[in-house]
Structure 1
Amino acid sequence: MMSMPQTETTLLDEERYRLLVDAITDYAIYMLDPTGRIASWNPGAQRFKGYEAPEILGEHFSRFYTEEDKLIHLPELALRTAATEGRFENEGWRVRKDGTRFWAHVIIDPIWDRSGQLLGFAKVTRDLSERKNAEAEIKRNRDQFEILVQGVMDYALYMLDPNGYVSNWNAGAERIKGYRADEIVGKHFSQFYTEEDRANGEPAKSLETALREGRMEKEGWRQRKDGTRFFAHVVLDAIRNDKGEIIGFAKVTRDITEKVEAQKALAKAREDLFQSQKLEAIGQLTGGIAHDFNNLLMAILGSLEMLRKRMPDDPALTPLLENAIQGGERGAALTQRMLAFSRRQELNIKAIDLGDLVRGMMDFLQRSLGSSARIETRIPPYNAVVVTDPLQLETALLNLVVNARDALAGEGTITIGIDEHDVTAEGGFLKPGRYIQFSVADTGEGMDVETVNQATTPFFTTKGVGKGTGLGLSMVQGLTEQSGGKLHIDSKKGQGTTVSLFLPRAEEGVIPAEEEPVHQPNSDAPPKTLNVLAVDDDALVLMNTTLMLEDLGHRVTEAYSGTEALDLLHGNEIEFDLVITDHSMPKITGSELASEIARHWPHLPVILATGYAELPPGGDAKLPRLPKPFSQAQLQDIVAAVIGTRTLNK
């Protein structure tokens, strides 16, 4: 085979090389002479830079550089570096024919002849604008994300390495946890946990859960730099690379202390509202029951009293009668407690010195307790004057002392104390003001928190069946609140109990009221026999009232309603000296009947008998009142007082 001449082979290789270079459009491949002027130009160069070969050949390659690069002589530096070091490689902005810029990767290689003479340079340029834009977009997104993360103040957002060490820190984390980034980055995240949680291994458990399930979410107490605690909602996410290898954890923490406290406050408000509604319903119920019960007791006690007066003295029967009367009187005391609880028991308000009240009751209290319990008092030298109902306060004190005795379950000490308090700030269970603390403390078994919370609940009792009604403390609470104060119980299991009545201190200069003298009828005594109109819709009560009045020597006309009473008064057949009427009657109440009588017969006295011991709004508070159940002696006293006053006013 005949071989080609060397010259033809060389020409063929050059042609192939030219075709190869011209076929490449993704790279600008061209030659520079030793001074940097363009000696060749391929289609890729034309596509990148926008110049056609005729208009760019012979021009200096520096025109592709930006003005900024020209000022620092970067084109000259590129050629000098290529000539001295054998290669120049760089990335930077380049300029197209139309003036737009593109990001280019540039390689310049020197070309030498066989003798080592520099013939020029080979220049390869690649347009990396798309990559540059993508990198810029990534950086922009990263910067925006960093700004976002650092701008979040309500959440602690930070990263942990695979071992749980903090690797970055946002401003929200600094605000919530109190650490600056330079104080906490590189430290283990377990220091945010409470000592109890660290002892239980909670930090490690959190990482294990996130590794196993990809996510851990929990609420619990966390600790700030200053040692204070906050209630946190925590999310911990495991972060893995494309190969599934763990590279760290993303941790988000939110302080929800205020939210939790608000939820607790809302729950308590709802519970208080429910309790208030329940107590109001019970109060209305007990008030109505007490009224009806008083009528029944009126019939029972009145009949027993009249029976005792008329029955011969029989040793076999008298104890039974006395026992029945005592049972009725205990029922009457129970209704008074129910009325006090339901706030339907009117207070006979007076100024009273608590020290005098305690000293006056000491003998009675000690006898009530027996020999097992010892009473001590802590009475201050100053006058502790409050404004309340003395009789009900005495009953309240007796209730508290008896409860204290029962709590002792044997020997022990009961202390009755009187102290003064000035409350100046809002927020406690007392409004600002001056208070007298009237307390009864025992050294008994005490109560747990649940029992303390239920202690004033109506009908709640820790005593055995038949030993307590569960209304004692409710009655005391009712009296205290009607007097403008608050009842407070301080007790712990095994440490005794103190029940305190915080009563507003009377204003300076208020003097305790002295006992009013019992009314004595005027010497100009009224006629022995009176014409009395007795009005009551309950036949049993009306019969007893009539029997009591007739037994006292009076003539009685009965009416079963207010309407019937007015008809009798308008009939003028009998000139009445007195009207005794029940208050709670259908159609016309006792107070409405009294108003009609005052209009038409202004000199006719009216006594209002009621099982509530309270008039509704709009009732005449000046009417003399006889609380049910009443005895014949009470009836006789009020009749004498009313008729005596009427005689004096004539």
Structure 2
Amino acid sequence: MTVSTVPISASAYPFGAGGGDVGNLVRTLDWAATSLGAIETWPQSLRTAVGIVLHSPVPIVLLWGEDGIMIYNDAYSVFAGGRHPRLLGSKVREGWSEIADFNDNVMRVGLAGGTLAYKDQELTLDRFGAPERVWMNLDYSPVLDDAGRPAGVVAIVVETTERVLAERRLRESEAIARENVERVHLALAAGAIIGTWVWELPTNRFTVDEGFARNFGLDPALGREGFSLQQVVETVHPDDKPGLIKAIETVVAQGGAYAHQYRVRRDDGSYHWIEANGRVDYAPDGTPLRFPGVLLDVDERRAVEAERDRANADLRALTQTLEQRVTERSAELMIAEEALRQSQKMEAVGQLTGGLAHDFNNLLTGISGSLELLQTRMSQGRLTELDRYINAAQGASKRAAALTHRLLAFSRRQTLDPKPTDVNRLIAGMEELIRRTIGPEITLEVVGASGLWSALVDPSQLENALLNLCINARDAMPNGGRITIETANKWLDDRAAKERDLEPGQYLSLCVTDTGTGMPPDVIAKAFEPFFTTKPIGQGTGLGLSMIYGFVRQSGGQVRIYSEVGDGTTMCLYLPRHYGPAEKADAVPDLSGAPRAEQGQTVLIVDDEPTVRMLVTEVLEDLGYTAIEAADGATGLKVLRSDVRIDLLVTDVGLPGGMNGRQMADAGRVVRPGLKVMFITGYAENAIVGNGHLEPGMAVLTKPFVMEALASRIKDLIADP
């Protein structure tokens, strides 16, 4: 947008002279560069509307055409702040990009001939270089063209931010005042308040009422004249005086509510417990001014509490003897109950790991057998057949790693790692595992939708959720039945999304249906509560749904239960569609193609397993890196605190000696702020690596890993600025 350097007479425009500074800008702006075209070609309806806007004393903006080209007046330019004059002649969606959706709705309604009105509408605008919350009264009306059709929208904008905030502060102050008054009235009526004080902080003058003076052993006649702080605390019990003075100093310095219990001496020399409650008032510049408060008599309450403590001690002594007798008499019952609980806990795990152990033994046979034949063929000099056994061992190792990861997922020890996931492929990979888990008396049917969208989820957590749902379905069918796993693409409109507490849009559904006993409404209402189980003792594991619910909600989705007693249950997971392809299975890369190090690049390897250190060191040295080894966190930290060049730390998470890999890395970053870190671990425990949220310059690689993948990740991490 450019401004013409040739002045044009104001009389040449139907909206005439005037209109202030913005009026002059409108007359000189290069409108031909906008969708409105040169100003001489404007229709009469537009010219008339512009004249009304420019000469109005209230903030008005005209949004003309489908793009909502903005033309406003001087009053609106003040509201626009630092965005003026860039807004003039701009499209409203681009001019106010942070509220583009709001203005899209305004244009849609206005160009359809409708009106809109908002009172104290809250919006977040960036008018002066930073986002700010503002409130406005907004009135929108359509503007008709020469043919009588809506061609634009005129908006009257009155900012009410100061009034809204002032009213909020007033309401909050009134609420606090009412609450305080009610508390004082209740306390006075109950006889709980035994004295009041006001401490003028700049003059150190305590004015107190008669009750305060009497309880502190002071002269009531001097209460109105005032005491110093030193005089007031003189009668406080010596053991309580240091704590009282510290509490007073803290509240004066930091503000907030004040409440403290201590003992004071009466005129007769006896001590009694009181509680002082107050609050410090400050000047506008933050200087503490007044400290008013009340005294409460807590002597009787403290005596009751002391008596209660003595009674509790006697009861505990009696209970210990009684518990010992009860424990001895019920030892056999407790052992039986513990055995039953252990049986329930191991029921699902046993069925799960039984099948995995069978597969794992087969894979170990394939690995050890391939290595044995590899050694034999090398001794025979038959080197042409080596690739066959190497490929077999690598394939079996990769499948064994996948089984191990599935066990970790079931025990919830995997780091949350969302990936674009093909859910149909995930179910197919788990189908055999699920069949072994639910047993032969239950039929499993899988109905995968063709053309299923991908979802951005943690595949391991989704596998865990699916397995838990199938176990719950199995437990609901003690006499056998059918489990159906079904996927589908779902378009949720406003009504359907509202029913599921989701935003309208596209979702992938994963449903598990059983033909079991079903759930009554009161059980459905509690099903997602932590530790809730639908299974009585001795009848299945009753695995809770709260973990599944938390995972799905964290992934942006929802879980819904559809069930009737006697007619089975359907558990549906709704996951947001991921716009993009799912990740493909990784091909086994060739170490010969791994990126080589630049000269002098040094990697510190910390792992308590010598074999892992040896393999990683040899691979890195073959690629040109200088490798330094350490067997524990303390030794690794000693290297990091030296002046040796370290481009990257590669460390296991679980290390011996009291310092894990994350702790060592954090300590190393104190002396090397830019240290890059690669965690290699068999667990990827959430609490150690940061609950799945690593700091910049950190990455995780899960064991077992392909050596080329390690080399590539190291190269990328070192090169990442």
Greater CA radius of gyration, 1 or 2?
1
Q: Same fold judged by TM-score > 0.5?
A: no
| TMscore range, shorter length | 0.3 to 0.5
TM-score, normalising length: structure 2: 0.35
TM-score, normalising length: structure 1: 0.38
Q: Which has the higher contact order (CA 8 A, sep 6+)?
A: 1
